[in-house]
Structure 1
Amino acid sequence: MKDAATSSIDACILKVVVGSHAHGLAGPDSDKDYRSVFVLPTAELFRVGFKYQGTRMMKEEEDETSWEIGHFLQLALQGHPLVLETLVAPVVTMDDWGAELRQLFPRLWSAQAAYESFLNYCDNQRKKMLEKKDGRPAKYAAAYVRVLFNLCELLERGTFSIRISETPVGEAVARIKAGHFRPGEVIDMGEHWTAEAARRLRTCSQQARPELADAFLLRVRKAFLR
């Protein structure tokens, strides 16, 4: 049986690198982005007045998004693209619990939920591109195409490429990210991969196994009981 962390604070069980460094698109000035999963001491969940914070955003020298394990599993079952990416991205640190969590990946997503969640995310990226949000339309345009392609991969082969630079859309995504694109061109690409995702959805029968997520979470909570 795995041992829980010995300190009274929450424990990080998984940390991965994401963004341009993971996608193979990093330039000399690219910052590193991270995502992580942490576990709260179980006793904290039962304290009077406790307010559960499922997501934490840390912006210092490096950006990091972190999810508490219960919230992370809930989002994974909903097909959240950033959460699913965390389960296949390059590992920075990981303990036995994190390794077991990553092994659950094939049981945490269903075709329909992933399809809807990925499309919602991509629609939001397209909107930000057209609005030129934060003055960085290229960032959102590249994410729009990349995540749609990842969805197609997921529905076809049960996983997806993190290093997008080595995929058939890698050259186009790199060019878009560098700012060499027209919005209409990006939308055309997006509509192509959206149609392809719909086609692949029709032949993908993948179903999640939420009972396995529940069993894993119960063992984690027992192990981290103070």
Structure 2
Amino acid sequence: MIYPHPLHDAVRTHPYPLLFATVSGAHLYGFPSPDSDWDLRGVHVLPAREVLGLHPIRETIDSDRVVGGLELDLVTHDLRKFMALMLKPNGYVLEQLHSPLVVLTTREHAELRDLGRRCVTRHHAHHYLGFSAGQWKLLNRDDPPRIKPLLYTFRTLLTGLHLMRTGEIEANLEVLNTETRLPYLDDLIAQKRTGHEKEPLTGDLGFYETEFRRLTRQLEEAQVATHLPANVEPEVEAELSDLLVRLRLPI
């Protein structure tokens, strides 16, 4: 995939070495509008001198910019913080790590992805249940309701279901719907892709609420039935630590 130049410029001018930079948000989820901004996420590696010194460290760097009418939001975490999030049931960072929309990668990125697969537990279902419930509340606060939070609601539920059943991260709603085959999702995706970021929702909200609650129950049941482990193995944390030290203190 060919990315707009501002994405490459943002990566090139980052103040610290990057382990990876990937595209997240609506472009990753498969339903960007023509006016959607670009969400770029990644991991930077702070030098040992800064980590060991007395000054506050830049664990997270958030940079918004508009270049030629293109809105770009770049957020990166220092590797240590990112690894700590990986060890929690945080599906969002795993989606960034495994995003197929790669702007910058390294050999260590591949190593981190392998370790990320071993960080998946049954408790990641809580992340997706909470995220979808929050998006559903957001949908109902809007007047009129918008398509975007509804798509986010279904996207998170289906990502969680797929994860519980397969142990694999898949964030693209169109891909997920090839498995679930919900005909209304194709229509909603098409409306979002050809409309605006704040495209209003048309249709029966009561029907979508019934679907939201049905899929929520399915995810809750999938969490009980999954073969995923309850906890991350201690060996994974040890390997993450070794990778962090190796990158922080290169020989």
Tell me the TM-score normalised to structure 2 length.
0.75
Which amino acid in the other structure matches residue 174 of structure 1? I
Distance 1:109 1:221 in 2: 23
Give 1:174 deviation, angstroms: 1.2
The Cα RMSD (Å) is: 2.5
Which ranges of structure 2 fall in alignment gaps of 5 or more residues?
1-14, 67-71, 193-198
Partner of 2:12: none
Which amino acid in the other structure matches residue 208 of structure 2? V
Establish whether residue 92 from structure 1 lines up as the match of residue 107 from structure 2: no
Which amino acid in the other structure matches residue 126 of structure 1? W
Alpha-carbon displacement from aligned partner over 1:89-109 (angstroms, at most 9, x marks no partner): 121111111111111122112
Partner of 1:6: none
Which ranges of structure 1 fall in alignment gaps of 5 or more residues?
1-8
Tell me if structure 1 keeps the 8 A contact 2:29–2:155: no
Tell me if structure 2 keeps the 8 A contact 1:76–1:83: yes
Establish whether residue 138 from structure 1 lines up as the match of residue 147 from structure 2: yes
1:1-226 aligned within 5 A: 10-48=16-54, 50-61=55-66, 62-90=72-100, 91-112=102-123, 114-132=124-142, 137-166=146-175, 167=177, 168-169=181-182, 170-171=185-186, 173-174=188-189, 177=192, 178=199, 179-207=201-229, 208-225=232-249
User: Share of identical aligned residues, percent?
Assistant: 22
Tell me if structure 2 keeps the 8 A contact 1:77–1:108: yes
Alpha-carbon displacement from aligned partner over 1:146-191 (angstroms, at most 9, x marks no partner): 1011000000011132331232344155167453344433332221
Consecutive aligned runs of 4 or more in structure 1 exceeding 4 Å deviation: 175-178
Number of aligned residue pairs: give it: 215
Tell me if structure 1 keeps the 8 A contact 2:39–2:73: yes
Tell me if structure 2 keeps the 8 A contact 1:35–1:86: yes
Distance 1:182 1:64 in 2: 36
Give the 3 Å change call, closer, same or farther, for CA 55–137 of structure 1 in structure 2: farther
Give 1:196 deviation, angstroms: 0.7
Tell me if structure 2 keeps the 8 A contact 1:148–1:193: yes
